A and B are shown apart, each in its own frame.
Chain A
Amino acid sequence: MLQMNNIKKIFRTDLVETHALRDFSLQVEEGEFVAVTGPSGSGKTTFLNITGMLETFNSGSYLLDGQDVSQLNDNQRSKLRNEKIGFIFQSFNLIPDLNLYDNVDVPLRYRGFSAKERKRRIENALERVGLSARMKHLPSQLSGGQQQRVAIARALAGEPLFLLADEPTGNLDSLMARQVMQLLEEINQQGTTIIMVTHDAELARRAQRNIHIVDGQVSDYQQLQPVLEVAEA
């Protein structure tokens, strides 16, 4: 479903050249729940951005659902993003001026669905995250965990191929973090592929597969970790 080969990403500022990803290769299959860990500055967010086509890369190849991403222009990438990917951000990124209903509506409007179809999808998505009673509330009227659930509803409403989450629990206390993690697990069990960056080793361990990024590359040692854990158990 997702195949990256030898991706290279270099950030050039006036004097510094940062090799955020070097010869980065990864394959993710449909239905997987992948947790991405790694030290700060190792390239996790860069990886996620490239996966989600928020950023371009310097060399290498990336096939998303069989499509060569490097051949697409900005509009085509936007469209593909809108149709195939759901994003979940560390700081939720809800639009503060819009109520929950309108927040979930944002990607659906860009999709060009009819009003009726949008309504159905918004109500379903909010139902799935248990917030359908608060559709008319503003984000500021919700707790952090609830806001992140709205963001998850927004990501789900377009029925994406996969979810990309950058430290979705990073701004939440441990109780709320576990609730959000539980929700993501449910969603994964219902068939949605999830790639999640996290600093929380405990949460990472709950994922089906762990990827450890060090210095812009997948670390071989950490890839063995889940296997070792299974052996321990």
Chain B
Amino acid sequence: MFEIRPILSALLRHKSSTFLIILQIAITFAVVVNASSIIKQRIEMMNRESGMPEEHLLTLNVNAFGANYDLENNIRADIELLRKTPGVVDAVAINQVPLTGNGDSGGISATQEQYDNRESIPVGFFMGDSHTLNTLGVKLIEGRDFNEQEVIYTAERPEVKSSIVTKSLADKLYPNGDALGKPVYIGGGEYVTIVGIVKKMSGSWVHSSLFEDSMISPIVSLDRFKRILIRTESPQVTAKLLGEVEGLLIARNSERVVTGVRSLVEHRARAYSGDNAMTIILWSVIILLVAITALGIVGIVSFNVNQRIKQIGTRRALGATKLDILRYFVTENILITSLGLMVGTLLTIGFNVYLVDQYDMPSFNWYLIPVGIIIMLLVGFVSVLMPALKASKVSPAVATQSI
């Protein structure tokens, strides 16, 4: 019924044109699958759980310029003012804010030897008072939060004794899962004790390997440049405060400048804008390539049908039904597409190995290959249908027409 062998031998008589369309399908497939793989990875990255109620968070910077500006009291007063503002759940003066691309990082380790052997683990260092966890909205799963007594206000290098780490970091430091109460070496022979572990919390750099590995210390460093993070009751309050918070702070003390008032939603969008653009570009490439290939198939099959009008009429005269003719061209096309997809699968794997090798891309989602094969077969089928239908309508009477 499905004249596979004769169709194949007929195809082999037109090696070059068959080869070209096979190559086109193969390349399209390889690019489409790799591009989808990249898109998928980007989307997965963008959809990582942040562990924070981003729509309820906004941040700003306070730059003090007053000559006799009392750093500690002003920070305390600002935070107190913000915490009392209606709609605000909590606020904290903090050295870095997640997703913003700014902050402090360094290396820590579970033992002094590891530290000295440069086997330290890169982490993001967060510093804030005992309201830090509550303001970030992250969830404590082991141990305790900081208390007010252990918070140090200082402009010097502080001597802290306790810290809270993310679960991801705790597991890297102590793979047995017993990090709570254990020491963490932070250099200079000093160590701090892990008093609490939070489930999940975003770091400042979305593309960094230390994104999920953060350590929080109970320190308020006394700098003229201070970041403040505010958690509100609702996205509406967040929006309202974005417009009002500057005036609020300046009204209390005008010897500073308030800058960078932004929601975390906006910070997230900025952090991932490159990934978003990349996703859109790759989607466009996919759609364009698939459309070109589909049109290529329509073109080559239409050409073949026109070339073979007499042959089609003859087949009809010899007993082929319309369906037989339709099936002939569809089968021929599925064969070509399948060959293209076989070559394409090899190309895809090769291309991916190259990408992983050259650009350090995370390797591949293998299930995209079968998904891509199904999609390309469907595209091939839909493309061949119109010219194949035209072929099936050729009258058997053309068989006896001269020329």
- Measured between beta carbons, the chain B residues less than 8 angstroms from A90 are 400, 402
> Which residues of the partner chain A approach B1 to less than 8 Å between Cβ atoms?
109, 112
**Minimal Cβ-Cβ distance residue in A for B322:** A74
The residues of B that contact A49 with a CB separation of less than 8 Å are 397, 400
Q: Do A93 and B6 form a contact, CB below 8 Å, given A55-B397, A75-B321, A83-B319?
A: no
Residue A81 CB within 8 A of the other chain: yes
Would you call B397 and A54 a contact (CB within 8 A)? yes
Check A93–B3 contact: CB distance below 8 A. no
In the assembled complex, which residues on chain A have CB atoms less than 8 Å from the CB atom of B10? 95, 97-98
- Cα-based distance from A154 to B317 in the complex (angstroms): 12
Return chain A residues, CB-CB under 8 Å to B315. 95, 106, 110
- Counting chain B residues whose Cβ lies within 8 A of the other chain, the interface size class is 20 to 34
Check if A93 sits within 8 Å of B9, measured CB to CB: no
**In the complex, which residues of chain A have a beta carbon less than 8 angstroms from the beta carbon of B402?**
90-91
Q: A74-B321, A79-B321, A102-B6 are in contact. Are A89 and B316 (CB under 8 A)?
A: no
Docked complex Cα distance between A55 and B400 (Å) = 11
- Interface presence of B310 (CB below 8 A): yes
A87 surroundings in chain B (CB, below 8 A): 314, 317-318, 399
Chain B residue nearest in CB terms to A166? B400
B379 contacts chain A at the CB level, 8 A cutoff: no
Instruction: Please report the C-alpha to C-alpha distance between residue A81 and residue B319 in the assembled complex, in whole angstroms.
Output: 5
Contact at A78–B397, with CB atoms within 8 Å? no
Chain A residues contacting B223 (CB-CB under 8 Å) are none
Assembly CA distance A95 to B314 (angstroms): 9
With A54-B400, A93-B314, A93-B399 in contact, do A98 and B319 touch (Cβ < 8 Å)? Answer: no
Q: Say whether B396 contacts A54, CB under 8 Å.
A: yes
In the complex, what residue of chain A is closest to B6 when comparing beta carbons?
A: A102
Task: Count residues of chain A with CB under 8 A from any CB of chain B.
Answer: 35
Residue A82 interfacial (CB < 8 Å)? yes
Bound: A106/B312 CA distance, A: 12
Residue interface mask A62-87, B partner, CB < 8 A = 1: 00000000000011001101110001
Known: A54-B395, A95-B10, A97-B10. A107 touches B310 (CB 8 A): no
Contact of A111 with B by CB under 8 A: yes
- Find B399's partner among A89, A96, A97, A110 (CB 8 Å cutoff): A89
B311 at the interface (CB under 8 A from A): yes
The B327-378 residues at the A interface (CB cut-off 8 A) are none
From A45, A55, A107, contact of B318 by CB (8 A)? A107
A110 touches B324 (CB 8 A): yes
Q: Closest CB-CB distance, A140 to chain B, in whole Å?
A: 10
Kindly state the separation between the CA atoms of A90 and B399 in the bound complex, as whole angstroms.
10
Question: Which chain A residue shows the least CB distance to B308?
Answer: A95
Q: Which residue of A is nearest B310, CB measured? A: A93
Inside 8 A of B322's CB, which chain A residues have their CB?
74-75, 78
The 9 A-B pairs of least Cβ separation, nearest first, read A82-B319, A97-B10, A107-B318, A110-B319, A93-B314, A54-B396, A78-B321, A54-B397, A97-B13
11 contacts between A and B (CB under 8 A): A48-B400, A55-B395, A75-B321, A93-B310, A93-B317, A97-B13, A99-B9, A102-B9, A106-B6, A106-B315, A107-B319
Binding site for A on B (CB under 8 A): 1, 3, 6, 9-10, 13-14, 310-311, 314-324, 395-397, 399-400, 402-403
